[in-house]
Amino acid sequence: MTDTTSLSQLKQAALDRARAGDWNGAADTLHAVLAQSPNDLGSLLLLGDVSHSDGNIQAASDGYRAALALAARTPSLPAPVQAGLQRAQTRLVDYASDYAARLDGLIPPSERSARFNQSLDILLGRQPVYLQEPRRYYFPGLPQIQVYDTARFDWVPEMEARTPEIQAELRAVLAEDQASFRPYIERGTGHLAAQDHHLLDNHDWSAFYLWKDGRKVEENCARCPVTTAALDRVPLDFADGKCPSVLFSVLKPGAHIPPHNGMVNTRLICHLPLIVPGPAWLRVGSETHHWQEGKIVIFDDTIEHEAKNEADETRIVLLFDIWRPELSEQERTEIATLLGAIDAFSES
Q: Amino acid identity, residue 112?
A: R
Residue 346 has pLDDT above 60, yes or no: no
If asked whether residues 90 and 174 sit together in one domain, one would say: no
Indicate the pLDDT class of residue 106, thresholds 50, 70 and 90: confident
CA distances from 320 to 243, 246, 267, 296 (A): 10, 4, 10, 11
**Structural domain includes residue 82:** yes
Say what percent of the chain tops pLDDT 90: 74
**Structural domain includes residue 192:** yes
Query: What is the pLDDT averaged over residues 17-46?
Result: 93
If asked whether residues 210 and 62 sit together in one domain, one would say: no
If asked whether residues 270 and 329 sit together in one domain, one would say: yes
What is the C-alpha to C-alpha distance for residues 100 and 97, in angstroms, rounded to an integer?
A: 5
Q: What is the CATH number of the domain that holds 227?
A: 2.60.120.330
If asked whether residues 90 and 156 sit together in one domain, one would say: no
**Structural domain includes residue 142:** no
Q: Amino acid identity, residue 24?
A: N
Q: What share of the chain is helix, strand, coil (3-state, %, to 5)?
A: 45, 20, 35
Residue 303 has pLDDT above 50, yes or no: yes
3-state secondary structure of 269: strand
First and final C-alpha spacing in the chain:
71
- Domain hosting 77: range is 3-106
Does the model's pTM come out above 0.75?
Answer: yes
Domain stops at, among 106, 141, 161: 106
What is the C-alpha to C-alpha distance for residues 126 and 262, in angstroms, rounded to an integer?
A: 25
**Structural domain includes residue 341:** yes
What is the C-alpha to C-alpha distance for residues 134 and 149, in angstroms, rounded to an integer?
A: 22
State the pLDDT at residue 190. Answer: 53
Domain stops at, among 48, 72, 106: 106
**Structural domain includes residue 86:** yes
Element (H, E) at 166: helix 163-176
pLDDT digits (tens, 9 = 90+) for 171-206: 999 998 777 898 888 876 555 444 545 788 888 999
CA distances from 336 to 43, 140, 210 (A): 57, 16, 20
State the pLDDT at residue 21. Answer: 94
β-bridge mates for residue 188, sequence order: none
State the pLDDT at residue 60. Answer: 95
If asked whether residues 39 and 163 sit together in one domain, one would say: no
Q: What is the DSSP letter of 284?
A: E
If asked whether residues 313 and 185 sit together in one domain, one would say: yes
**Lowest pLDDT segment from 136-150, 176-190, 278-292:** 176-190
Domain stops at, among 106, 135, 165: 106
If asked whether residues 188 and 88 sit together in one domain, one would say: no
State the pLDDT at residue 241. Answer: 73
Using alpha carbons, select from 32, 12, 14, 21 the residue that is nearest to residue 54. Answer: 21
**Structural domain includes residue 292:** yes
Q: What is the CATH number of the domain that holds 35?
A: 1.25.40.10
**Structural domain includes residue 27:** yes
Q: Amino acid identity, residue 241?
A: G
If asked whether residues 204 and 343 sit together in one domain, one would say: yes
Indicate the pLDDT class of residue 348, thresholds 50, 70 and 90: very low
Q: How many CB atoms lie within 10 A of CB 171?
A: 13
Using alpha carbons, select from 307, 269, 275 the residue that is nearest to residue 293. Answer: 275
What is the C-alpha to C-alpha distance for residues 262 and 305, in angstroms, rounded to an integer?
A: 9
Residue 4 φ/ψ, nearest 5 degrees: -65, -45
Residue 92 has pLDDT above 80, yes or no: yes
Say what percent of the chain tops pLDDT 70: 94
If asked whether residues 186 and 263 sit together in one domain, one would say: yes
If asked whether residues 221 and 343 sit together in one domain, one would say: yes
**For the chain, what is the domain count?**
2
Q: Which residues contact 242 (CB under 8 A, 6 or more apart)?
A: 213, 214, 339, 340, 342, 343
Q: Give CA angle at 190 (321, 128), nearest 5°.
A: 65
If asked whether residues 67 and 176 sit together in one domain, one would say: no
Indicate the pLDDT class of residue 1, thresholds 50, 70 and 90: very low
**Structural domain includes residue 138:** no
If asked whether residues 169 and 79 sit together in one domain, one would say: no
What is the C-alpha to C-alpha distance for residues 74 and 78, in angstroms, rounded to an integer?
A: 11
What is the C-alpha to C-alpha distance for residues 19 and 49, in angstroms, rounded to an integer?
A: 11
